[in-house]
Amino acid sequence: MKEKIALLNAEILSFLPKNQEHLEQFRIQFLGKKGKIQDLFADFKNVAPEFRKEIGVLLNDLKNNTQQKLDEFKDSFLSSTEERKASDLSMSADFLELGARHPLSVMRNEIISIFSRIGFVVSEGPEIEDDWHNFSALNFPPEHPARDMQDTFFIEKSLETGDIALRTHTSSVQVRMMENSKPPIRAIFPGRVFRNEAISARAHCIFHQVEGLYIDKNVSFADLKQTLLYFAKEMFGESTRIRLRPSYFPFTEPSAEMDISCSICGGKGCNICKHTGWVEILGCGMVDPNVLDNCGIDSNLYTGFAFGMGIERITMLRYGIKDLRLFFENDVRFLKQFEGAI
């Protein structure tokens, strides 16, 4: 018996399968129900009791060795292509759809990054606002036509508690910031805003703004201009020029609108700038003293500036996108072009 076991062991150890079939024959021959090892187990009852322990161990070892041999070669003759792929390191990997950031997020992040480099922190406010934060504190008198500047989606109209609406601009977050912190304040507020406007290539009822606010002692219009020039150059390139045109907002005095030299044609004149060489990108001004006082900041001690820009507009100019609706359709052919942008 011992001899038989030793012989089989030697045979198993030296066995080298040529292919899957050969390996399977080996399995049947040794481990099969009528295989050689099973035969030996059948003979075991004839072993004298004093040898049983020793032979039992040898038999079990033999069986384990055989199984080990099978396991060792099992993976080397994989049949299906799937399995072959898994072990073939030279095959190219399957294509993975990774997804990409939305261009508006890319631009928002870039605007935040530009202002954070000169010390502006980021804050946010609610999209559903009360009349005070969206209008009254910002110097829009009741029933004043200035309120019609922005067509509002009202959620609740109430004379007692005041109206509740979707915010029409991120200037509402200026108010919250001033109410809740003491100067110096240097912050930007990115967020969604809502206006009851017909959807077209140039307007949408939902869009995105970034608001900026800077309050301290001795803040001047020159500070505002220099901050915006820095932003324009960082966003649209070193050669970008800016111009400020007088304008009107109830919450700033004086107020202005800022144009940049057209980033598409470099100022020579094209369709985007309507052949003027300039495109408007934001509204700004010195915070009206009434607004400071409304928000608990002493207008005799402090001055400040504010500005607000539409992220859609900035993104359209940066990438030469002509129709604003593309941002909201989520057509992957459009979105794919921004893969890799962060």
Task: State how far the Cα of 181 lies from the Cα of 31, in Å rounded to an integer.
Answer: 81
- Nearer Cβ to ligand PHE, position 169 or 208? 169
* Among 123, 283, 313, 327, contact with ligand PHE (rule: CB under 6 A): 283
Q: Which stretch binds ligand PHE (CB under 6 A): 48-56, 57-65, 197-205, 303-311?
A: 303-311
Which residue, 68, 56, 58, 87, is CA-closest to 15?
Answer: 68
Helix (H) or strand (E) run with residue 90 in it: none
| CA 184, chain centre distance (Å) | 31
The two most distant CA atoms of the chain are separated, in Å, by: 113
Query: If you search the block for the tokens 């077209």, which residue do you land on?
Result: 200
Query: If you search the block for the tokens 């609740």, which residue do you land on?
Result: 156
Note whether 235 and 319 are within 8 A (CB). no
Task: State how far the Cα of 134 lies from the Cα of 172, in Å rounded to an integer.
Answer: 5
Q: Which stretch binds ligand PHE (CB under 6 A): 12-20, 120-128, 264-272, 282-290?
A: 282-290
Task: State how far the Cα of 214 lies from the Cα of 90, in Å rounded to an integer.
Answer: 58
Note whether 84 and 28 are within 8 A (CB). no
Check residue 125 for interaction with ligand PHE (CB under 6 A): no
x/- letters, 135..174, toward ligand PHE (CB under 6 A): ----------------------------------x-x---
Check residue 308 for interaction with ligand PHE (CB under 6 A): yes
Check residue 307 for interaction with ligand PHE (CB under 6 A): yes
Burial label, 182 (beta-carbon count in 10 A; 0-12, 13-18, 19+): exposed
User: Taking the complex as a whole, how short is the minimal distance between the CB of residue 108 and ligand PHE, in angstroms?
Assistant: 16
Task: State how far the Cα of 185 lies from the Cα of 38, in Å rounded to an integer.
Answer: 87
Q: How many CB atoms lie within 10 A of CB 163?
A: 18
User: Taking the complex as a whole, how short is the minimal distance between the CB of residue 251 and ligand PHE, in angstroms?
Assistant: 6
User: Taking the complex as a whole, how short is the minimal distance between the CB of residue 157 and ligand PHE, in angstroms?
Assistant: 22
- Nearer Cβ to ligand PHE, position 55 or 146? 146
- Nearer Cβ to ligand PHE, position 135 or 338? 135
- Nearer Cβ to ligand PHE, position 11 or 280? 280
Check residue 191 for interaction with ligand PHE (CB under 6 A): no
Task: State how far the Cα of 15 lies from the Cα of 66, in Å rounded to an integer.
Answer: 10
x/- letters, 242..271, toward ligand PHE (CB under 6 A): -------x--x-------------------
Q: Which stretch binds ligand PHE (CB under 6 A): 71-79, 90-98, 306-314, 334-342?
A: 306-314
Contacts to ligand PHE by CB under 6 A: 169, 171, 211, 249, 252, 283-285, 306-308
